[in-house]
Amino acid sequence: MTICVFGAGSIGCYVGGRLAASGAPVTFVGRASMQEQVSGGIRLSGRDGRTLCVTPEFTTDPAVVSDADLVIVTVKSGANKQVAEQLRPLLATDSVVLNLQNGLHGGADLRAGLPGHRVVTGMVGFNVVRDGASFQQTTAGEIMAATDPMWVRYAGVFAAAGVPVEQRSDMEAVLRAKLLLNLNNAINALSGLPLRAELEDRDFRRCLSLAQGEALRVMGASKPAPAKLTPVSPGVMARALRLPDFLFRRLGGKVLAIDPTARSSMADDLVAGRPTEVDWINGAVVDLAREAGADAPVNARLVALVHDAERAIHPQWTGAELYAQLATAAKVVD
């Protein structure tokens, strides 16, 4: 079998790198800047403490997907239509596409743009931090993907690489649950802090509680309910985030079990001057609310603030400042 990682950024290089390090034939397609960074090899650090090194076969030419049995798409969700246009004339008729992206509709967008091809929806449940050519998994979690016959061939390959896939028959519910977790990406990006330091600040946690509580109310207007991906249910977690620091450290210790260097991908994008995925994360909540004839002022405000930050307008906020913005949007009175 041959595997191609299309849009190889932090997640793509880490997952593809683990596959390549285990002996799977993997080709990476990505930006010229990434190609230059990893040309001398990549270093992969897992949560198990093991470090692997591999020299990737990396190119900027999308034509290599024509030889791939499995194409793993790891671009940002907003690029799916463009990616589908690139892949459509190149994919072999029996190639399988696995999308590993944030947001609710990545697989659907690719499926619509690639008629006649098998597109399997997946998501990555862990965070990866990049430092040059080093990629570190900084949180626990695993890959989840829709149940599909293709896993008869590929499940063992992913498991042998240390990135096992949990097959799920409820991927829409899984994606909704992952979206709730990803709502923190915007807050983390606006904080300018590592994830653990941000979540240790009660005001930032209250911001996330407002965003998640609003999303849960919006999701309640349609099915399915979000899956339970953490030890506590999404609703309980949204309430627990408001607890004082000493109680949250005691009750939410697993939430804080994050490498102290970890940041959200949205924070990395702001620092690098790249467009963010905020329209496909917090903006997805706004879209769901609109479909239900409602509104989502907290997440709409986060979308606007991140877009301001992309233009270098107030790119960093304290917890108290940001909470005041979101509480005003939600008309919350403490």
> Would you list the domain boundaries of the chain?
3-169, 172-330
**Is the model's pTM score more than 0.85?**
yes
CA dihedral 105, 108, 114, 119 (to 10 degrees): 100
Q: Between the CA of residue 105 and those of 143, 266, 297, what are the distances in Å?
A: 17, 18, 22
First to last CA, the chain: 58
| Cα–Cα distance measured from residue 132 to residue 61, given in angstroms and rounded to the nearest whole number | 22
| Cα–Cα distance measured from residue 72 to residue 84, given in angstroms and rounded to the nearest whole number | 12
pLDDT in tens, 195-252: 999 999 999 999 999 999 999 999 999 999 999 988 888 999 999 999 999 888 887 6
Which homologous superfamily does the CATH classification assign to the domain defined by 172-330?
N-(1-d-carboxylethyl)-l-norvaline Dehydrogenase; domain 2 (1.10.1040.10)
pLDDT at 232: 82
Q: Between the CA of residue 36 and those of 90, 137, 186, what are the distances in Å?
A: 25, 22, 29
When mean pLDDT is compared across 77-81, 174-178, 240-244, 275-279, the lowest value belongs to 77-81
- Indicate whether 256 pLDDT > 80: no
Q: Between the CA of residue 53 and those of 27, 160, 205, what are the distances in Å?
A: 16, 16, 37
Q: What is the sign, positive or negative, of the torsion defined by CA atoms of 281, 7, 42, 144?
A: positive
Q: Which residue bears the tokens 């190119």?
A: 59
Q: Are strands 96-100 and 70-73 parallel, antiparallel or unpaired?
A: parallel
Across residues 13-21, what is the average pLDDT? Answer: 97
Residue 53, Cβ neighbours under 10 Å: how many? 12
Confidence bin at 333 (pLDDT 50/70/90):
low
pLDDT at 10: 93
* C-beta separation of 270 from 276 below 8 A: yes
CATH architecture of 3-169: 3-Layer(aba) Sandwich (3.40)
Q: At 120, which helix (H) or strand (E)?
A: strand 118-124
- Indicate whether 254 pLDDT > 80: no
- Indicate whether 290 pLDDT > 90: yes
- Indicate whether 26 pLDDT > 90: yes
Across residues 20-33, what is the average pLDDT? Answer: 96
- Indicate whether 188 pLDDT > 80: yes
| CA atoms within a 13 Å half-sphere pointing along the CA-CB vector of 283 | 15
| Cα–Cα distance measured from residue 225 to residue 234, given in angstroms and rounded to the nearest whole number | 10
pLDDT in tens, 127-153: 999 999 999 998 888 999 999 999 999
